[in-house]
Amino acid sequence: GENVGLHLPTLSVQEGDNSIINCAYSNSASDYFIWYKQESGKGPQFIIDIRSNMDKRQGQRVTVLLNKTVKHLSLQIAATQPGDSAVYFCAEIDVLSTGANNLFFGTGTRLTVIP
Amino acid sequence: DAGVTQSPTHLIKTRGQQVTLRCSPKSGHDTVSWYQQALGQGPQFIFQYYEEEERQRGNFPDRFSGHQFPNYSSELNVNALLLGDSALYLCASSLGTGGEQFFGPGTRLTVL
């Protein structure tokens, strides 16, 4: 679970457009995935999660898609706003094997929203 | 309801020194995990404390040690500081070792 990575380190979008942030993971035993948002000077903030027995989960303006076949995770943000500008991390947990909620993070994608 | 708090906010040390960072968990939480976040990187798991014992540990040397107190607060100690220890140290608390983790704002450690 230590090799969670991201395809793009930076992403710039126009305000109002949709954003898609991608993430690849390597531990097929991971059973729980979380997207975090981290603003400058703050700790990571939970956005949305998904369990490995699901392929899609929707929240308020956000959707997470999980493709276990190719070990790929994505975060979609609808109608992106300036307040969405931050670094986004995906993280995975292998609860069943470890019995713990240790998070394994990727490097992160910096999302910049252009007004 | 106070969230996770950490102290100090910033800290500057020199190589070879020792440092202690502190964390108070979110109200109602009994488990504390520590993460190291180097600049431009994702957080890396250091260890987790539950019932005053280290339960899980990541790939960090013995220079990194911790403690959890009866009130669930925790300390992270780093001995013989190296330049590479410069990072943001994050504390996360949860209810139990499998619960959702809530992060504090972190302590920025700079080693000169």
Residue A4: pLDDT band with limits 50, 70, 90: low
Q: What is the pLDDT of residue A2?
A: 43
Q: Which residue has the higher pLDDT, B38 or A95?
A: B38
* B54 Cα distance to chain centroid: 12
- Can you give the residue range of the structural domain that contains A34? 10-114
Examine residue A1 and state whether it is found in any structural domain, yes or no.
no
A32 has a chain B CB within 8 A of its CB? no
Residue B92 burial by Cβ neighbours in a 10 Å radius (0-12, 13-18, 19+): buried
Residue A16 has pLDDT above 70, yes or no: yes
Domain that holds residue B102: 5-111
* Total of domains in chain A: 1
Is B41 near chain A, with CB under 8 Å? yes
Measured between its terminal Cα atoms, the distance across chain B in Å is 37
Q: Cα(A24)–Cα(B91) distance, rounded to whole angstroms? A: 25
Q: CB of B25 within 8 Å of any CB in chain A?
A: no
Q: Per the domain annotation, does A50 fall within a domain?
A: yes
Across the interface, whether the CB atoms of B40 and A41 are under 8 A apart is answered: no
Residue A49 lies in a domain: yes
**Is position A3 within any domain?**
no
* Total number of domains constituting chain B: 1
